[in-house]
Structure 1
Amino acid sequence: MDPQKQAAMENTTSKDSSEKYLSKGPLDDQVSVSSWAQSRWSQRRSNRWDNRWSGRWNHHWSNDEDFRHGDEEDDILAYDDDDGECDESGLPAKGKFHDTQVKRALKPRHLGMIALGGTIGTGLFVGISEPLSRSGPVGSLIAYIFMGSVVYFVTQSLGEMATFIPVTSSITVFTKRFLSPALGVSNGYMYWFNWAITFATELSVTGQIIQYWTYKVPLAAWIPIFWVIVAVLNFFPVKIYGEIEFWVSSVKVLAIVGYLIYALVIVCGGSRQGPIGFRYWRHGYAFGDGYISKNKDEARFLGWVSSLINAAFTYQGTELVGISAGEAANPRKTVPRAINKVIFRIALFYILSLFFIGLLVPYNDKRLSDGSAIIASSPFVISMLNAGTSALPDIFNAVILITVLSAANSDVYIASRVLYALAGQGNAPKQFTYVNRYGVPYLGVFVTCLVGWLAFLVVSNNANTAFNWLINISTLAGLTAWFFICFAHIRFMQALKHKGISRDDLPFKARFMPWGAYYAAFFVGLIIFIQGYDAFTPWDTKSFFTSYISLILFGVLYLGCLIYYRGRLLIKIEDIDIDTDRKEVEAYVWEEDAPRNWWEKFWAAVA
């Protein structure tokens, strides 16, 4: 036999055996790579170049046996060679190099606390005043429990997909792959819009938090100050972002736990008011006076429906763990941990907080609906003022300030990664894929921060109205994303079945599926369409556009994308791609450090 043909056959046989070896076993097994794969990667590695002007290249591979990804070996550099301009050596021409890869630098404790702290913001500390005043303590509590069940299944759906295919801004990627390009692109831009508007919402509150202490500095002066702080923080490495969020989220968690203990003491009689118990749940206080309608039962139901949109805003960000999967070390382990603790966080930080708020603050307290002051209407602060504890309101106001800045920081982080993912798929200008030497998509950060200037809308005589307007716009956009998460997961499960892959072999199997996804998708879709009911009784054009502007914008985007892509309304099940970006992760083996002391064990349990 010809020696060249024999060598080619041996190489093919070696390659086939390597591919078989890599594909066997559970999907989350630690995969070692055969000698053929090692030699191929060694050859590629030896051909890489190292130019001073291009930045530092850090190899992922720590030894000759396994592909390993350590804590410090997290730098990947890629270059943009779309223009095809290279020098004589075959390297990109000078000035054409662009780093386009984010970095897997978020550790398990970072990811857990980001998922926990990202949802604790103005929605919890300030936003619950409106549902409390409209539907009373029991009505608002039921609304938050109901939305909590919906959010639980949304995160379960996202967790199963994001663990199997851990990519940055997974929501936009999954919608495009599992549904259709038109839906993926339009949903991606709406999701970016959601978090960009939420950033403006958080920023709009900062000045009023300061005004709780002093009015000497104008409200408009604080917005640009905090805008600069948040913008600068988002240009630092993602590892620093993770550290900041970890410690700030720790403050949030401790503050809420402290408040729950404080509230229990006050309810049992530890203040000048004496034992309060369920005083504000009696005498018709439980469901309040309702909203709009003169018929009490109808008004109470409408007030409860109104509370759902506020609850949805409060819970937004719970899905952040799915966005962060592309920058998480060992996502097959860290993402399921964070997802499985969602129900615990919902119960502890939202349901219990609202339960005690309903015991301490009557629904008809005029400060809850104060249209000129946002922070003064916070039920947390009102409950402390009612109890006569003079120092705690100031301390908690400082906690709210830290919380809002942290939430704003997370908003910019999420939105910039969404633009990065859209550009990576070719659905946004490729400049959004460029990252600085820290792996931060700087152009996405800058564009998102520009939307933050909408915070100046609250510089008016009716700041609370502007605040609620921003909430409605961002919440509806977020609900749209939740709907498509569930829809994409339903299609994902169908694709797995078609390809003969059992969900039992997945690194994370969502609970109560597929019925949980159907349940969440149905009620999210229902809320999207009925949340603006107050615009129809009587008809109010301004309220209609405030309630449905996000839905109208999505419809325009989707129609434009449908015309541009000229594809099917939905991708065929047999054409759904579940392999891209998955096999690369299966080739990594991450080494985790076990908790070394009681402090690390505590946060490992919480986060």
Structure 2
Amino acid sequence: MIALAGAIGTGLFLGSGKAIQRAGPVGTLIGYSTIGGLVICVMLCLAELSALAPVSGAYVRHAEYFVDPALSFAIGWIAVYGPCVSVPSEWVAVSTIVRYWTDLHPGIIIAICIVVSFLTNIFFIRVFGEVELISAMLKIALIIGLILFGLVYDLGGVPGQSRLGFWYWVEPGAFGEGYLVGGGIGRFCGFFSVLVNAVYSFAGVETTSIAAAETKNPRRNIPRAAKHIFVRVFVFYILSLFVVGLIVPSNDPHLLTSTGNAAQSPFVIAAEKAGVRVLPSIINAVVVTSAWSSGNHGILQGSRSLYALALEDKAPAFFRRTSRWGIPYLCVIFQSSFMFLAYMSLNSDANTVFGWLSNLTASSTLAVWVVVGTCSLRVRWAMEAQGIPYQELPYSAPLQPYLAHVVTWFSSFIMLSGGFYVFVDGHWNVSDFFSSYFTIPLSLALYLGWKLLKGTSIVPLEEVPVGTFIAIARANPEPPLRKKKGVVGWFGRFWWD
């Protein structure tokens, strides 16, 4: 549930407005569905890896065992760096949303977010789980309510509003009016630009396996949890975007503005068009809660990743220090110091800064996905080299190794092409180029630097410890899942298992 709370954030509630404006309702739907398909490939690969080797740190440790210790170092620091840019993006979003109600200076709003989040992670971590659970429940309730409201509005159930049906898919069009250039190429560019938006929206789903070593019956429960999180998030995103695409046209004036106002959220636009005065405030209140919980989730994830690196001598030793409550406070302080990046929105347009931080977050997420796919491929290749049948795996994901190939190559392709718009004539921008591609040289520098410093090498396929982990799994059998009978049991197996 904590991973669910962290995965549903401002990417859906605020960032989807830009997607609809650029790609239209159908282009947005296809773009998010495409990345949703990639995410399920990532989750199945990660489930297979975590069932085989249920270790703390998940893909960070998997890279060490199955690929190269230098890759583990690099992706470990990328896991720290990701929240360094994603958390400020949440605070920028909060400052944007709160201005829907008040003209309070955004710097004050950002300061409140920083202080409250820091204190929560330093002193009140014991209530973190309860706060995230409440946040997840609020998000789910809001999304379900918005889906139902949107359907009622679209079918003419709101007094004074006629039935819309699929009219906005006809006028102004299913794929909008084109992005960057006109015609079919412009519509394709609009669709392609949505992919990075969607990656940012789905970022954090992969954290379900971070605490695999502390999970009860991990070889049984991690694969189930991976599928649980994906299905919930995927359904919520796709249904929400489908409905909002029915009731908000891609050329709505509010979507086209760049003032950084919360009114640009397509959900708020839909509520205002329906004339339900209190609904925009309710939506924004839950979105603020959503952004705050996602920011907290990022600080927790980043600080614990840094702590794990310190324990393995891949980060300075002083980061191992903990408070009497076991909180790695220096890691929290380090992670929290990057929250001040949110103040960039005071000198630049809030939407622009949100876009920069979103791009940085998306590229770091894609780097993680590339490593997950690479580790999965290496496990399969090692099993072939060692003559171990795939059936020996505690959990064997379907359609392997094709899923791993899709994850590795498609994620790499999006990383390399996600900033394509800066290369279009007249759209060059140094800031956009930097935010789209900085993660690539950073990852290479971390990998090559550690390899040269420590003299590491890629683990030979014959020495990848797949057999060792399989033997450990055999020596520690887990009780089988008790399946319910009847219609409820059949539905549960179809939906989850």
Fold shared by both chains (TM-score > 0.5): yes
Which residue of the partner structure matches residue 171 of structure 1? 59
Indicate conservation of the 8 Å contact 2:7/2:205, yes or no. Answer: yes
1 or 2, which has the higher helix percentage? 2
User: Alpha-carbon deviation of 1:593?
Assistant: 13
How far apart are the structure 2 equivalents of 1:121 and 1:463?
Answer: 17
For residues 572 and 250 of structure 1, do their structure 2 counterparts lie closer, same or farther at Cα, with a shift above 3 Å needed?
Answer: same
Q: 1:301-359 deviations in whole A, cap 9, x for unaligned?
A: 11111110001100111101022324433323332221122442244211111101110
For residues 440 and 325 of structure 1, do their structure 2 counterparts lie closer, same or farther at Cα, with a shift above 3 Å needed?
Answer: farther
Which residue of the partner structure matches residue 405 of structure 2? 518
How far apart are the structure 2 equivalents of 1:369 and 1:431?
Answer: 48
Does structure 1 residue 457 correspond to structure 2 residue 347?
A: no
Which residue of the partner structure matches residue 81 of structure 2? 193
Q: 1:128 aligns with which of 4, 11, 16?
A: 16
Does structure 1 residue 212 correspond to structure 2 residue 100?
A: yes
For residues 511 and 493 of structure 1, do their structure 2 counterparts lie closer, same or farther at Cα, with a shift above 3 Å needed?
Answer: same
For residues 584 and 518 of structure 1, do their structure 2 counterparts lie closer, same or farther at Cα, with a shift above 3 Å needed?
Answer: closer
User: Alpha-carbon deviation of 1:413?
Assistant: 1.3
For residues 374 and 435 of structure 1, do their structure 2 counterparts lie closer, same or farther at Cα, with a shift above 3 Å needed?
Answer: farther
Tell me the matched-pair count.
486
For residues 213 and 383 of structure 1, do their structure 2 counterparts lie closer, same or farther at Cα, with a shift above 3 Å needed?
Answer: same
Counting aligned pairs with the same residue, the percent is 33
How far apart are the structure 2 equivalents of 1:169 and 1:535?
Answer: 35
1:360 is aligned with what amino acid? I
Does structure 1 residue 387 correspond to structure 2 residue 294?
A: no
Does structure 1 residue 415 correspond to structure 2 residue 302?
A: yes
Indicate conservation of the 8 Å contact 1:168/1:417, yes or no. Answer: no
Q: 2:452 aligns with which of 553, 563, 578?
A: 563
For residues 582 and 467 of structure 1, do their structure 2 counterparts lie closer, same or farther at Cα, with a shift above 3 Å needed?
Answer: farther
Which residue of the partner structure matches residue 355 of structure 2? 468
Which residue of the partner structure matches residue 489 of structure 2? none
User: What SS class does the counterpart of residue 291 from structure 1 fall into?
Assistant: coil
Which residue of the partner structure matches residue 494 of structure 1? 381
Indicate conservation of the 8 Å contact 2:172/2:250, yes or no. Answer: no
Which residue of the partner structure matches residue 143 of structure 2? 256
Which residue of the partner structure matches residue 28 of structure 2? 140
2:4 is aligned with what amino acid? L
Indicate conservation of the 8 Å contact 1:238/1:438, yes or no. Answer: no
Which residue of the partner structure matches residue 504 of structure 1? 391
How far apart are the structure 2 equivalents of 1:120 and 1:478?
Answer: 15
Q: 1:279 aligns with which of 167, 172, 180?
A: 167
User: What SS class does the counterpart of residue 475 from structure 1 fall into?
Assistant: helix
How far apart are the structure 1 equivalents of 2:287 and 2:375?
Answer: 35
For residues 247 and 328 of structure 1, do their structure 2 counterparts lie closer, same or farther at Cα, with a shift above 3 Å needed?
Answer: farther
How far apart are the structure 2 equivalents of 1:417 and 1:541?
Answer: 33
How far apart are the structure 2 equivalents of 1:451 and 1:471?
Answer: 15
How far apart are the structure 2 equivalents of 1:167 and 1:369?
Answer: 47
User: Alpha-carbon deviation of 1:594?
Assistant: 12
- Over aligned residue pairs, what C-alpha RMSD do you find? 2.8
How far apart are the structure 2 equivalents of 1:453 and 1:361?
Answer: 34
How far apart are the structure 2 equivalents of 1:562 and 1:374?
Answer: 46
Q: 1:483-536 deviations in whole A, cap 9, x for unaligned?
A: 111111111223344455544344432222111111122111111111111111
User: Alpha-carbon deviation of 1:451?
Assistant: 0.7
Indicate conservation of the 8 Å contact 1:237/1:439, yes or no. Answer: no
The worse-fitting range, judged by mean Cα deviation, of 331-340 and 448-457 is: 331-340
Higher relative contact order (CA 8 A, sep 6+): 2
1:328 is aligned with what amino acid? T
The worse-fitting range, judged by mean Cα deviation, of 533-542 and 281-290 is: 533-542
How far apart are the structure 2 equivalents of 1:423 and 1:206?
Answer: 32
Indicate conservation of the 8 Å contact 1:195/1:412, yes or no. Answer: yes
TM-score of the superposed pair, with normalisation by structure 2:
0.91
Which residue of the partner structure matches residue 12 of structure 1? none
Q: 1:286-312 deviations in whole A, cap 9, x for unaligned?
A: 101221124x11111111111100011
Does structure 1 residue 289 correspond to structure 2 residue 170?
A: no
User: Alpha-carbon deviation of 1:407?
Assistant: 0.5
Q: 1:218-256 deviations in whole A, cap 9, x for unaligned?
A: 211111212122222223586643332222111111111
How far apart are the structure 1 equivalents of 2:316 and 2:274?
Answer: 55
Which residue of the partner structure matches residue 88 of structure 1? none
2:42 is aligned with what amino acid? V
Does structure 1 residue 402 correspond to structure 2 residue 289?
A: yes
1:509 is aligned with what amino acid? S
How far apart are the structure 2 equivalents of 1:476 and 1:297?
Answer: 27
1:114 is aligned with what amino acid? I
Stretches of structure 1 that go unaligned for 5 or more consecutive residues are: 1-112, 596-602
1:565 is aligned with what amino acid? K
Larger Rg: 1
How far apart are the structure 1 equivalents of 2:297 and 2:332?
Answer: 11
Which residue of the partner structure matches residue 333 of structure 2? 446
How far apart are the structure 2 equivalents of 1:365 and 1:284?
Answer: 10
Stretches of structure 2 that go unaligned for 5 or more consecutive residues are: 485-491
How far apart are the structure 2 equivalents of 1:582 and 1:332?
Answer: 13
